[in-house]
Amino acid sequence: MSNGAVVFHKTAKGVEEMEKRCHGLTPKIRRVLIMIDGKRSVDALREMALADDLTHTIGALEEEGFIEVMGIAGAGGVAPAPAGPLPSITAFKDESPPADPMRLQLSRNFMANTINAFCGALGNSSLLERLDAAHSLNDLRLCFDEWYQAIVSSRDGRREAEALRARLLDTI
C-alpha cells in the first residue's frame, strides 16, 4: 500500500475547527484540513495543494487529532483500511530508541549539515546549538519539527524536503 493512496477524513475535532476556528491553526494548515474530505487520496491532495511539506502537514493534523485514516483509495472508491493500525506518515522508527552513539552522531550530523547547506547558520544558530548539545536521539527528535520547518523555508530545501525527511527518519 502506498501512503499516497491513503484517504483521510476529519475527526470531530477537525469538524469543530472548520465550524469555530477554535484551535489556532495557521492558514496554510487550515487550507489542507479544508481539502481533506474523505474522498481524496494523499496523492490527489498533493496535486491540489501548493504546500511543499504536505506530508508533514497531514502528519501534524493526524497527530493532533484533526484527521484520521478512513481507508485506501482504489478503482471502486475508498476501501476500508486494513485491520490494525497504520503507521503515522511522520512516525519515528521506534518509540524509545536504545542508546546508539553512532546513530546519534549520524542523525546529528545530517540535521546540522542540511541546515547549513540549505538554510545557512545565520538565523538557525539556536537550533544548531541544540543539535550539538543533544545527548540522545530523543533530544534530536524534539528538534525534528523545527529542523523540517527550517528546511522547507528555503527555496532549495523545499524541493528536497520530503527526501531529506525520509532519510532522517531512517536514522532518528
What is the C-alpha to C-alpha distance for residues 30 and 102, in angstroms, rounded to an integer? Answer: 39
What is the C-alpha to C-alpha distance for residues 105 and 107, in angstroms, rounded to an integer? Answer: 5
The 10s digit of each residue's pLDDT in 33-62 is 999 999 888 888 887 876 566 777 888 898
Examine the pLDDT at 87 and tell me if it is beyond 50. Answer: no
The 10s digit of each residue's pLDDT in 132-155 is 999 999 899 999 988 988 887 888
Examine the pLDDT at 18 and tell me if it is beyond 90. Answer: yes
The most confident of 31-35, 72-76, 82-86, 119-123, by mean pLDDT: 31-35
CB 172 within 8 A of CB 141: yes
Strands across the sheet containing 67-74: 6-10, 67-74, 77-80
